[in-house]
Structures are given as structure tokens and as C-alpha cells.
Homo-oligomer: A and B are copies of this chain.
Amino acid sequence: MKHCIIVGGVAGGATAAAQLRRINPGIRITIYEKGRDISFGNCGLPYNIGGEVSDRDKLIAATPESMAERDITVKTHHEVLRVDSGAKKVTVKDSSGDREFEDEYDYLILSPGGAPKTLPALLNVPQAFVLHNLGDLDDIKAHIDGHGVDKVVLIGAGYIGLELIENFVRRGMDVTFIHRSEEVYRPLEDDMGDFFIEEMERQGVDVRLNAEIVEVTGNAATLDNGEEIDAPLIVAGIGILPRTEFLKGSGIKLNDSGFICTGDTGRTSVDCVYALGDAIETFYQHTGGKTTVALAWGAHRMAYVIANQISGNEDVVFEGLLGTNIMRFFDYDIATLGLEQHEVLEYDHFIVDHRQRNKAGYMDSSVPIHVRIYVSKTDGKILRAAVVGTEGVDKRIDILAAHIRLGGTAADLANIEVAYSPPYSSPKSVLNMIGYKTIEKLKQFDE
């Protein structure tokens, strides 16, 4: 019986195991997970803090026990230390039993994920946390409850940091937001994100830009300007690094930033070794360029692809992705897709920008939506899009993704048929209008 070892049992690894079992009843599957839990909804963690996921256990999609029922062996607290891709075996450390052993595979699926970054000043600070897994969630809530904490200092302006701001406010806590620059939420264009700070202030958040914590003593944190603030709870959401140290010397190719290189089959540079999830380098669907996208959609899709590849269905491949993403920040929805802002600069392009109400303008409840697209001058394709508003943003970004995926150009957006009724759109939707605007711009270039 063939043996498939999976490194990492969170979203990517657990989904790959489930898909593989579904397609391939005759393969032995073992998951080694370094942490305590598998298959939890990590994107949902902040929403348990804010109360929108009232049942914490609902975040757990599968347990070692439920996996065992599907004939999948799960070993938690088991860290894979090394991969010997020549001998097709891994070295595993059982941290509960404090022993090391080797295990042989026919197929290896790597889903190690990322390791959250932190700040030097927060090392060994007992009230400093990240929110990366279910254990972190439990620890944060235990700290709040155990110490009667009603105040939190949030560091980092990425999506996890911002989602946490919203959710701690919802929990009724006083929030201080500390960020080392003035640039909040880098995925979005600065001039489209004016509302971030306004909204924080409206929500009573104490906003400290261009500031960093340099020292924490007891419950007091000292900032780089010398000020001391009350910090009975500190949560850092300052990004992740791929957890791929253990692959050094394995022969499995990593890129310069340590991400595992993959292609359209999910295979790494080494036969029978596949990778998915937040630690891989993959490619853009629309340009073919390399990218790293730590998002769940791609991980789920790649799980399906790898399960099929291992099972001999070689025509099932990964098409690449657009990095389509969305974040809610209080009333706002912020979505982008395609190239990052700095990547667009490498292309000869023009920008089409449009604001329109999300539904028929005569409806009292209609609200503005702001769409910006970056169009290739070479072929008229959409390289990047950003959409911001308080309603209907998810719809527009998803339509754009579907359109771009099948080769639709910017001008062709004029032809997109939408379901129109006053509560949902205008007869000429915001995307139609950006298509018409593109057509006019292209005419100007022709003149």
C-alpha cells in the first residue's frame, strides 16, 4: 500500500488529506502536525473574539478522531524536522513523547504554513500574543478572562491586525493601535484607504502612527517617542514567514524568500513531493508571473489538484490565481485582485477609476462604490483591480475575477450582464461603466 505523508494539518494539509481519501481509498495517509489542533478555520479566529462566531468549537472542521474515521492517521504535536527526498523519508519529532523517528513515504505533501512574526520587544512578554492558531485564541481569551483585561494594544496594519481591531472593539474593549508607519493596509492604494484611520477614530480607537513599542515592563509599554502606555494585553499581527527551515538540505527548491516553488501540478522541484498553502510560491493566472498568496481559496484548490495528481488524474491542474482577496473593516469592504501595486509598475498600463452607487441611485440606501482597474496597454487586459465601499464590494471583485479568468478585457466589462433590480445595481452597473470608460480612454489613445 502506498503511503502519503502530509506535513501540516491545518487548512491545506487537512483538505488535501480529505480529498486524497475521497479519490483514493487505497492509499495510507499520515498527517504530522506540529501544533495541538488540526483543520481549524484560522480565518475565523478574530470573529470568535468579536462574538460573530459565538461557538468556538464550530471553528474546528475536523479532529484527529474524525479523521481516523476516514482512515486518515493524524499525529499532533509531531514536528517534521527533516526531509530526505532521496530516501523518501522524513524525520519526525514527537514533542509530547520527546522522541525522534523516521517515516517513509511514497508521496509527500508539504503544508507547513507560516510562522507569525513578532517584535524583539515582545519576546518573553507574558501578555504579548499573536493570533495564528486555535491555541493562540484560547490563550488570548484566557488571559482576558483571567486578568479582567478590558484594554488591548494592537500592532500591525495587515488584515489580521485590522480584523482584530474591529473584533476587539466589538468585544467592548479599549483598543490602542500602534503602527510603525502611516501606511495602513498595504494591499490597498493609499488614496483609496482614507477611511481606515477615520473609521478607527470614529470607533474610539486610540491611533498611534509612526510609533513602535521598544520595551515592555509589567503592564507598561514604552514607545519609541518615550511615551508609556497601558498594555495589559498586546496582540501583534505583523505578518508571517514561510515555515520552511526544515526543508534546508532536502533538495526541494525554495525561492529567495523561503517559499516552496511549485507549478501547475502542485509538485515541487522533487518527484513525489507536493506543496500547498501559505508557504508556497505559485503563479498568477493572468500574467504567469510568480507570486505568493497566503489565502485559503488557492490552498483548497491546490488540495484538490494534488490529490488528483497523486491519484493519476494528471489532467487536473492548477490554473494559477489572481490573489482575489477581501477584508471587512467595520462597515467597509476592501477587495483587490491581480498584481500588487509595485508589480503593476513593470507593465505599460493605464488606470480607469470610477465611483458609482451600488444600487439604483434613487434608492435612499444606495451607497458609493469605488472601483479602480489597471489596464495593460499591450492587450487591454486587467492587471489589477481594487474595489472599496460599504456594500456590494464582494460581488464586484468576484465578477471581475470570473471575467479576467476567462480572458475578458477591460473594455469588455461593458458587455457584462448583471441582474438588475433597484436594490442590487443600476441597469448600467459600476463594472459596465468602467468598461465604457475604458473604451473612451482607448479611443483617446488611438487619436
Residues of A whose CB lies within 8 Å of any CB of B are 11, 41, 43-44, 47, 52-55, 58-59, 159, 285, 295-301, 304, 319, 321-322, 324-328, 333, 335, 337, 360-365, 392, 394-395, 397-399, 401-403, 405-408, 414-425, 427-428, 432, 436
Contacts and interface: CB of A to CB of B under 8 A. Distances in A.
Given A394-B419, A418-B401, A362 B427 contact: no
Contact of A418 (B58, B297, B408, B415): B297
A43 B11 CA distance: 45
A163 to B, nearest CB: 8
6 smallest beta-carbon distances between A and B, as pairs? A406-B406, A326-B419, A296-B427, A58-B362, A395-B395, A402-B402
A405 B409 CA distance: 13
Contacts of A326: 419-421, 424
B43 A420 contact: yes
B421 A328 contact: yes
Contacts of A428: 297, 300
Contact of A301 (B299, B398, B415): B415
Contacts of A337: 419
A405 B420 contact: no
A415 to B, nearest CB: 6
B419 A398 contact: yes
Contacts of A402: 399, 402-403, 406, 408, 416
A297 B53 contact: no
Nearest to A427: B296
Given A360-B43, A421-B326, A52 B401 contact: no
A430 to B, nearest CB: 11
Contacts of A365: 52
Contacts of A360: 41, 43-44
Contacts of A395: 394-395, 398-399
Given A297-B418, A419-B335, A427-B299, A361 B58 contact: yes
Nearest to A56: B362
| This chain: copies in complex | 2
Which of A58, A159, A322, A420: most chain B CB closer than 10 A?
A: A420
A43 B44 CA distance: 39
Given A44-B422, A52-B365, A362-B55, A405 B416 contact: yes
A304 B165 CA distance: 46
A408 B416 CA distance: 14
A397 B419 contact: yes
A407 B402 CA distance: 11
Contact of A41 (B55, B362, B418): B362
Contacts of A159: 421
Contact of A399 (B299, B301, B399): B399
B420 A401 contact: no
Contact of A417 (B324, B364, B427): B324
A44 B419 contact: no
Nearest to A45: B422
Contacts of A297: 417-418, 420, 427-428
Which of A55, A419, A422: most chain B CB closer than 10 A?
A: A419
Contacts of A427: 11, 43, 296-297, 299-300
A395 B395 CA distance: 5
A377 to B, nearest CB: 20
Nearest to A424: B394
Contacts of A362: 41, 44, 47, 53, 55, 58-59
Contacts of A392: 394
A395 B279 CA distance: 31
Contacts of A398: 395, 398-399, 416, 418-419
24 contacts: A11-B427, A41-B362, A43-B360, A44-B363, A44-B422, A52-B363, A53-B363, A53-B364, A59-B362, A300-B427, A301-B414, A304-B414, A324-B417, A324-B419, A325-B420, A325-B421, A328-B421, A328-B423, A333-B424, A395-B399, A398-B418, A401-B418, A402-B406, A406-B407
